[in-house]
Amino acid sequence: MYAEQREPEFGWTDEHRGLRETVRRVLADRAPVARARELAEAGERHDPALWSELAEQVGLQGLALPERYGGFGGTLLDLAIVVEEMGRVLYGGPFLPTVGLAAPVLLAADGGEDGPDGGPAAEYLPRIADGSLTAALAVEAWGPAGEPVVTATADAAGRLTGTAPVVLDGGDADLLVVAARGPDGPAPYLVETGAAGLTRTPLETLDLTRRAARITLDGTPARALGDPGRGAVVLARARAVSSVLVSAEQVGGMTAATDLTAEYARTRRQFGRLIGSFQGVKHRLADMAVRQEMAHSAAYWAAWQEPGTPEFAQAAAIARSYCGDAFLQTGLDAIQLHGGIGFTWEHDAHLYLRRARADRALLGSPQLARAELVPALVPTVPARSTTEGIPA
Amino acid sequence: MTVTEPGTEPVTERVTLAAGASDAEIIAAVEAWLRAHLPEDWQAAVARGDLAAVEAIREDPERGPAWFDLLGDSGLATPTWPVEHGGLGLPADRGAVVTETLARYRAERHNRDFVGLVLAGHTILEWGSPEQKAERLPALRRGREFWCQLFSEPGAGSDLAGLSTRAVQQADGTWLVNGQKVWNSYAHLADFGLLMARTDPSAPKHRGITYFLLDMRTPGVEPRPLKQMTGNAEFNETFLTDVVVPDSARIGPVNQGWSVAITTLMQERNGLSGRPAVGPGEADELVARAVGNGSWEDPVLRDRLLEAYVEEKVLQMTTVRSFVASGDAAPTAEGSIRKLAHSVLAEKLGVLGTDLEADGAVAWDPAEGSEAADRFLAMKTYSIAGGTSEIQRNIIAERVLGLPKDPDPERHLPFNERGRG
């Protein structure tokens, strides 16, 4: 689905470094954390002018989409670099929902090079690439083997009924990808935003930089995406890709939170000393650095594996488990080491903690990610037994 | 190509491997060499999984050393050493593939050779005189000399530079050494020791230390085994009483022993944090154990196991990354990050291992022993040996995050003027 990655793990090329620098520069200029806060406080979803610029001048939306769909044919690794940089500045626009969550389903459902022309991928991906379409992924919940738990069901005419309680960018996206139960099990469907029986109820969000809505479908016309018999496989593959990208975003967030905290410890004085000279502070920061290094390794190891392989699926689940827990702890520690100022609305520390908690729930908890490892790790144990006692 | 060094007649040709060889090429070359050279009964024992039979050959007083001579001369025991010193000149990540392939045939060097092969080897490669290299490296390569470390002292643990063992140069140029060392693994069996001693007490503590390669059979060197909390006695305290050390045993310049020691310590941190590969580890063993004894059915225990599994895999990924990033084993503060992560993981695994046992591994049949209890008792090794986790956190905070150095009021004082607490 994405271009093949040719260098061995962690063999960064000049192209990778150049991409990172470019994205970092554009975001520093146009979307620093202060801008994310400004948009959040104004109740704005995102900066549409920046969105167009990212598509038209930098080409980020189409970076890793196939050339035949108007993209640049980049790799998942390229995309992970972009998302990590966005994570650093808490960019909250439609990029992750559209490119990181919805597009992977369209790509996974697409027949690839040999697939039929004129399918949904050919119709929608070029519009994602040129920045004219945003999309969201609606899932009721994820089960412990990585399968979507759906209450939305499709009738014989392909009309959907059910509810997805929290859909990132679901109230604003131009297109909804819905995981529903079709005649052959879980499968992805497309729902146009003007469709009959579709209700989008805006929600208040923990992560102030992002918007979410409850999606209710009541006999809503929908279009099956790809071969209905492969629906579960398509959704699992796409979810592994999304797991890598969410992990990359978490790495970006935790790197920024660690940097912010280290900078504070290097400059704040108490008792006549820089607080970074106290071991109570140093040691907590050292643990933050360890988590950041480890999370970086986990996210990029996964990004380097070949999508669709068993190694990729395992690495993606490992990354989601590790990065989800790591970012949350770093978010807590960042506030702790800032003391009172870290507990104020004006300080950015809470924005990272909010993002850490929200990202952790995006594709199922770290605990669920670990449960996903079981079938490959212990093939003799039925996957069913892993569902017991694990909260969603 | 073979190298002839004084006192060594090579018993085999050196293996040739290109620095850019792929994993598959290295594995194929090493396996072909092993099939041609590894004794047939050894190969057969490996094939049928009879590790006890392999161990018997490895520990056989005739056959063991004969094998390690052969391995040493082939260059496979020291793949990352320079070619001129009998190595294969491979980068660290390539060398690791060699070592892992050897390990699959149980043909790799003994773990107890770590101080010699890795610590002494790299320290001599970096700091040794041509004579020291010629005299010591061939024996290290072949595993013919056994080494220990004589660094820590009763009064110098984490503050290693505060050591007070004295070495005083005599009129004839030899050094007279007096003092006491501690935590010296295998010192009672060792041929040589890596020794740090104070040679200028009027200089600040880091600047008055000199490093020696001590012949452990010198009169006045007296190791006494110390029983560890595990019940084993690998440790020693070593008393040094009027030990006369020739100046030719000094490695590095006089009073610059601390710089030499940094080489050794960095290797130690690196060595303790694992091999650069992502593959089955200790957590996989515990998962297999849990599935086997039914404890896997406990969902809480299962998630703890999976959490440890994830951490171990991520640590392996981090180790691979640091090898790729540095292009070599170049040990930096990165090694401290991995050592710290490994220590935390080792404790988790040690406790988990006992939790998997129905009886918590609190009692066992004397004939069978308890691996879980052994590992539980050994797990604290990792967060203390080679610099405690607290010292590693200081290093990470100072060198990676740029935080202020820990206050050390004695750092710049002449050693002999500092207060004795």
CA distance B370 to chain A (A): 24
Task: Give the B-side interface with A, CB within 8 Å.
Answer: 278, 284, 287, 291, 296-297, 299-300, 302-303, 306-307, 309-311, 313-315, 317-318, 320-321, 324-325, 334, 337, 340-341, 390, 392-394, 396-398, 400-407
Is residue B330's pLDDT more than 70?
Answer: no
Helix segments in A33-156, DSSP class H: 33-42, 48-53, 76-88, 95, 103-109, 120-129
Classify A13 as helix, strand or coil.
coil
DSSP state of A99: I
**A269 close to B (CB below 8 A):** no
Q: State the pLDDT at residue A6.
A: 67
Q: Which residues of A touch B314 (CB under 8 A)?
A: 294-295, 297-298, 301, 318, 322
Tell me the pLDDT band of B12, cut-offs 50, 70 and 90: confident
Structure-block tokens of residue A214: 């409850």
Shortest Cα distance, chain A CAs vs residue B98, angstroms? 18
Catalytic member of B100, B108, B153, B268 = B268
Determine, for residues B404 and A277 on separate chains, whether the beta-carbon distance falls below 8 Å.
yes
**Residue from A254, A294, A311 whose CB has the most chain B CBs within 10 Å, to mutate:** A294
Q: Does A377 contact B at CB distance below 8 Å?
A: yes
Which pLDDT band holds residue B326 (cuts at 50, 70, 90)?
low
- Domains of chain B, each with CATH number or no CATH: 23-109 (no CATH), 148-258 (2.40.110.10), 273-384 (no CATH)
Q: pLDDT per residue over B28-40, tens digit each? A: 999 999 999 999 9
The architecture in CATH of the region A14-129 reads: Orthogonal Bundle (1.10)
Q: Which residue spans of chain A are classified as CATH 2.40.110.10?
A: 135-230
What is the C-alpha to C-alpha distance for residues B402 and B421, in angstroms, rounded to an integer? 29
Closest CA relative to residue A373, chosen from A361, A383, A360: A383
Question: With b meaning 16 or more CB within 10 Å and e meaning fewer, what string describes B46-61?
Answer: beeeeeebbeebbeee
CA distance A254 to A288: 8
Residues of B in contact with A295 (CB under 8 A): 314
Which residues in chain B are contacts of A274 at CB distance < 8 A? 403-404
B268 is catalytic: yes
Contact call for residues A50 and A30 (beta carbons, < 8 A): yes
Which ipTM score applies to this complex?
0.93
Q: Across the interface, do B403 and A389 touch by the CB < 8 Å criterion?
A: no
Q: Tell me if B180 sits within 8 A of B239, measured CB to CB.
A: yes
Q: Which of B84, B70, B89 is nearest to B143 (CA)?
A: B70
Instruction: Report yes or no: A376 at the B interface, CB cutoff 8 Å.
Output: no
Task: Tell me whether residues B401 and A289 touch, CB distance under 8 A.
Answer: yes
Q: Please report, in tens digits, the pLDDT of each residue of chain A (392 residues total).
A: 687 766 778 989 999 999 999 999 999 999 999 999 999 999 999 999 999 999 999 999 999 999 999 999 999 999 999 999 999 999 999 999 999 999 999 999 987 655 555 689 999 999 999 999 999 999 877 776 666 766 677 777 789 999 999 999 999 999 999 998 888 888 999 999 999 999 999 999 999 999 999 999 999 999 989 887 889 899 999 999 999 999 999 999 999 999 999 999 999 999 999 999 999 999 999 999 999 999 999 999 999 999 989 999 999 999 999 999 999 999 999 999 999 999 999 999 999 999 999 999 999 999 999 999 999 999 864 444 444 444 43
For chains A and B, CB pairs below 8 A equal 132
- Residues contacting B16, CB < 8 A, separation 6+: B1, B88
Query: CA-to-CA distance for A308 and B110, rounded, in angstroms?
Result: 40
Taking 3-state DSSP, the helix, strand and coil percentages for chain B, each rounded to the nearest 5, stand at: 50, 15, 40
Q: What is the DSSP letter of B173?
A: S
Residue B310 and residue A279: Cβ atoms within 8 Å? no
Give per-residue pLDDT as tens, B206-252: 999 999 999 999 999 999 999 999 998 888 999 999 999 999 999 99
CATH 1.20.140.10 is the classification of domain A232-387:
yes
Sequence-separated (6 or more) residues with CB below 8 Å from residue B206: B161, B258, B411
CB A299 within 8 A of CB A83: no
B171 DSSP assignment: T
pLDDT of residue B328: 45
Angstrom distance (rounded) from CA B152 to CA B388: 13
Contact A318 B310 (CB under 8 A): yes
Specify the pLDDT at position B8.
60
Residues of B with CB below 8 A from A287's CB? 393
- C-beta of residue B264 within 8 angstroms of C-beta of residue B387: no
* Secondary structure class of B340 (helix, strand, coil): helix
Give CATH for domain A135-230: 2.40.110.10
